[in-house]
Amino acid sequence: MKSRQPLDWFDRALVPLLGYVAATLMFCLMLLTCVDVVGRYFLNKPITGGFELTEVLLAALIFAGLPLVTLRGDHITVDLFDPVTPDWLFSIQHALASLIGAACTGCLAWRLWLRAADLQRAGETTSQLQFRLAWLTYAMAILMALTAVALIVTLLRRPHRHIPGDTGQPPA
């Protein structure tokens, strides 16, 4: 049984929602690619703006996945020294990584928000479909801010060592 962590309600609220959003975006990407390939190579009629739609869906998928991956602890990590690092140093490393990550993603969220405002003022759109880029950029800023919050949530939790072969379960 998984032990309770601080702010578990945050995971219960956000992880399923972002999981459904990411799954929907992935399904749309898959469907778009299949229809575009069939249209392009068999009917000689590709989807108009298919490349732009792919770009927008991919950007949305990546940014929707960031808070999800952060809360699940699924980032790629270099765990070479985890088995030999003392607990006190491992805790400091966890806290510093979470704080630096939260500061960086918070700064990126702020810069994305400012960029979205610039795009909104300029009325920037994609070239073919005329999709307003500010909407996507605002969404990216919000999802990046959620990633910063997720990093703060992980800061409040016990660090988890990534030891090869360790499932976290007690031996039977």
Give residue-wise pLDDT tens across range 81-128. Answer: 777 878 888 888 889 999 999 999 999 999 999 999 999 999 998 888
pLDDT of residue 169: 54
pLDDT 10s digits, 71-81: 887 777 777 77
Portion of the chain with pLDDT greater than 90, in percent: 49
pLDDT of residue 144: 96
- Of residues 83 and 53, more confidence is placed in 53
- Return d(Cα 132, Cα 120) in angstroms, integer: 8
List, in sequence order, every residue forming a beta bridge with 47; answer none if it has no partner: none
Whole-number average pLDDT of the chain? 86
pLDDT of residue 128: 87
Which region holds residue 7: left if phi is over 0, alpha if psi is between -120 and 50, else beta?
Answer: left
- Mean pLDDT value of segment 29-53: 90
pLDDT of residue 163: 58
pLDDT 10s digits, 125-157: 888 888 899 999 999 999 999 999 999 988 887
Half-sphere exposure of 62 (CA within 13 A, CB side): 10
pLDDT of residue 10: 75
Domain boundaries, given as residue ranges, for the chain: 8-75+84-155
List, in sequence order, every residue forming a beta bridge with 125; answer none if it has no partner: 132
